[in-house]
A and B are shown apart, each in its own frame.
Chain A
Amino acid sequence: MSDEPVAIRSDRAPVIEPGHTFATVTDKISSIVLTRPTSTGWLVGFGISFLLTMMMLYAIGYLFVRGIGIWGVTIPIGWGFAIVNFVWWIGIGHAGTLISAILLLLRQSWRNSINRFAEAMTLFAVSCAGVFPLIHVGRPWLAYWLFPYPNTMNYWPQFRSPLVWDVFAVSTYATISLVFWFIGLIPDLATLRDRSENHWARIIYGMLAMGWRGSARHWHRYETAYLLLAGLATPLVLSVHTVVSFDFAIGIVPGWHTTIFPPYFVAGAIYSGFAMVLMLAIPIRKFYGLEDFITERHLQNSAKVMLATGLIVGYGYIMEAFMGWYSGNRYEAFTLWNRLHGPYAFWYYMLLTCNLVIPQLLWIRKLRTSPVALFLLSAVILVGMWLERFIIVVVSLSRDFQNSSWGMYYPTRWDWMTFIGTIGMFLAAMFLFCRILPMISIFEMRTLLPEAEVKE
């Protein structure tokens, strides 16, 4: 993937700690899957997240029995938690594609040690996101009506609606993320096939590896396909949150109808996504002893991306407020006033604190290199980004043009159970992923070693 040697500058932590060879990299990463016994910590963590997943299924099962009346959504706030969580999760997924595709195109070879699990994170986050619109449609068993297919009702989707665009954007994103991740896994699955002692593991990894044998012809086509996929995934990932923002921006509700939404949504997505990457990477490197591969350099770089995207998001807030005042539109001005002084003002200030004020600590180098500080800051950012979506969805809908149609939104326990349940589902999937698949791309790590260099 990278043909230049890893720059080891004295002022920077290396991408891989020195002293590793092809064999040690292979052994270290594959042994986590193949030989390391399942630890108690893993069982407890997986058990808790599995229980949370069950709680989500219970909440969804009850929803199917009773209908969405069990949620807090009522007119005027018809979107509520379902859409807040959908946007939050899909945004988290964006960092994985950014790391695997955009940083690949930019030849940032440090991404090789975090792209695999970041892509897995994308996949699971998009799955969690996909749950919400599906159960929010009211009659989820008819969700396939969203897709254009010939039917006896003589009906077709309405392609001028951003909600239909969203169906295409999100399903394309999920599909491409899945194949991108799987293609990246094939050579590593072959490694696991060849190194596994267990008969069944060999058969299963062997089937998944599809007979990969590392032929030069195969590698050549493989790299071309991988690079083209990265090139395709790059505009795709930028388009997905743009289309998600169209769901709002095409509507005329004050606070939604702004042209700044697409870039500001994309920046916010990457912001929250990197926060999630760090929240996963920091414990993983600690518990699996992967500090050699996920070094201080990765933490620093992720922190810098968060700082930069956080500032773009901050610019978005400032512009929203400025346009609220400068546009002279009384409804926009009222939205601003309502955010600052209305019933949800506390949450707006919390949002500004979490997303704008506290992350400025990332300017301090010492905090950028401290795993504990970064973990906590990432948690704050994730909360902040969730609040941002809450403010956008709920505050705008709660007070629109006519005060006769104002209302308040109170999430019910079912809303919370579903939301927390998806976090459980996400973590359960991550736990399984760490246990059965190599969470760092082995073959891409080999290319980073000095011995991989070839002179013509």
Chain B
Amino acid sequence: MKRTPVYGLMAEFDSAQSLVDAAHKTHAAGYQKIDAYSPFPIEGLAEAIGFTRNRVPLVVLIGGLVGGLSGYLMQYWISAVSYPINVGGKPPHSWPAFIVVTFEMTILFAGLSAVFGMLALNGLPMPYHPVFNVPRFAFATKDRFFLIVFSSDPKYDASETRRFLESVGGRFISEVPS
């Protein structure tokens, strides 16, 4: 990836409402590569910046299916193929007895897929990120809200974008060094 000296322009907002409004306006103005930061999840903010492809549910579904299938097949293979022993006269492939472990394995794999899938799709862990270079960004985990337009955006223009962010109510607009 080509490294540009400037990562983007970041604007600060005082409230969740003003961030969502600004995000809507910025997206509507044609900026594609933007992101918003908030100290808590805000409903509708992801949609406002044009993020719609959330693949976490798919990852979890696949994880659950893999877990359930492998759990059942493992028990089948162990109890009916590899090590068939007579327990209380039950058939080697006594499927009702296998349901519990199948269920637990489904939950285990689906749950771990949810966690690791979410982290992987989010690109975490990521020890360094340019946004942390902005001193005021430390308040993004307290009570401030931020919007960034990345310099990779085709519409990005240092002075034009700065004026635009000011017009939607952004404060402390600063260039983010990469």
Contacts and interface: CB of A to CB of B under 8 A. Distances in A.
B2 interface: no
A454 B79 contact: no
A422 interface: no
Nearest to B78: A156
B42 A159 contact: no
B84 to A, nearest CB: 10
B1 interface: no
A216 B78 contact: no
Interface in A207-263: 207, 210-225, 228-229, 232-233, 235-236, 239, 243, 246
Nearest to B48: A216
A335 B73 CA distance: 41
Interface string A152-176: 0011111111101100110010011
Contacts of A122: none
B141 interface: yes
Given A168-B105, A220-B54, A224-B54, A210 B126 contact: yes
Interface stretch (A20-28, A135-143, A376-384, A424-432): A20-28
A392 interface: no
A214 B100 contact: no
Which of B37, B57, B105, B107 neighbours the largest number of chain A CB atoms within 10 Å of its CB?
B107
Contact of B110 (A157, A159, A169, A232): A232
Interface in B85-110: 85, 87-88, 90, 94, 97-98, 100-101, 103-105, 107-108, 110
A159 B75 contact: yes
Given A159-B78, A216-B49, A224-B54, A210 B111 contact: no
B39 interface: yes
Q: Is the interface of A mostly helix, strand, loop or mixed?
A: helix
Given A217-B51, A229-B111, A443-B39, A165 B101 contact: yes
B111 A221 contact: no
B40 interface: yes
B118 A454 contact: no
Interface stretch (B128-136, B155-163, B164-172): B128-136
A456 interface: yes
B88 A160 contact: yes
Nearest to A222: B118
Contacts of A454: 16-17, 20, 42-45
A179 B100 contact: no
Given A157-B78, A216-B37, A232 B141 contact: no
B66 interface: no
B46 interface: yes
Which of A3, A158, A217, A451 neighbours the largest number of chain B CB atoms within 10 Å of its CB?
A217
Interface string B17-52: 100100100000000000111111111111011010
B143 A26 contact: yes
A113 interface: no
A154 B78 CA distance: 10
Which of B54, B88, B143 neighbours the largest number of chain A CB atoms within 10 Å of its CB?
B143
B60 interface: yes
Nearest to A447: B40
B101 A164 contact: yes
Q: Is the interface of B mostly helix, strand, loop or mixed?
A: helix
A421 interface: no
A434 interface: no
B107 A214 contact: no
A213 B140 contact: yes
A229 B15 CA distance: 29
Interface in B52-77: 54, 56-57, 60, 64, 74-75
B82 interface: yes
Interface in A172-209: 172, 175-176, 179-180, 182-183, 187, 190-191, 193-195, 206-207
Given A213-B140, A232-B110, A156 B104 contact: no
Contact of B108 (A158, A172, A451): A172
Nearest to A161: B87
B142 A224 contact: no
A388 interface: no
B132 to A, nearest CB: 7
B104 A158 contact: no
Contacts of B87: 158, 160-161
Contact of B104 (A161, A168, A179, A206): A168
Contact of A222 (B17, B41, B125): B41
Given A168-B100, A213-B129, A228 B119 contact: no
A228 B117 CA distance: 12
B119 to A, nearest CB: 7
6 closest A-B pairs by CB = A210-B125, A22-B143, A225-B118, A220-B46, A211-B126, A219-B41
Interface of A: 1, 3, 21-23, 26, 148, 154-162, 164-165, 168-169, 172, 175-176, 179-180, 182-183, 187, 190-191, 193-195, 206-207, 210-225, 228-229, 232-233, 235-236, 239, 243, 246, 443-444, 446-447, 451-456
17 contacts: A21-B143, A154-B83, A168-B105, A179-B111, A207-B127, A216-B36, A216-B38, A216-B42, A217-B122, A220-B41, A220-B51, A222-B122, A223-B41, A232-B60, A233-B107, A235-B103, A443-B41
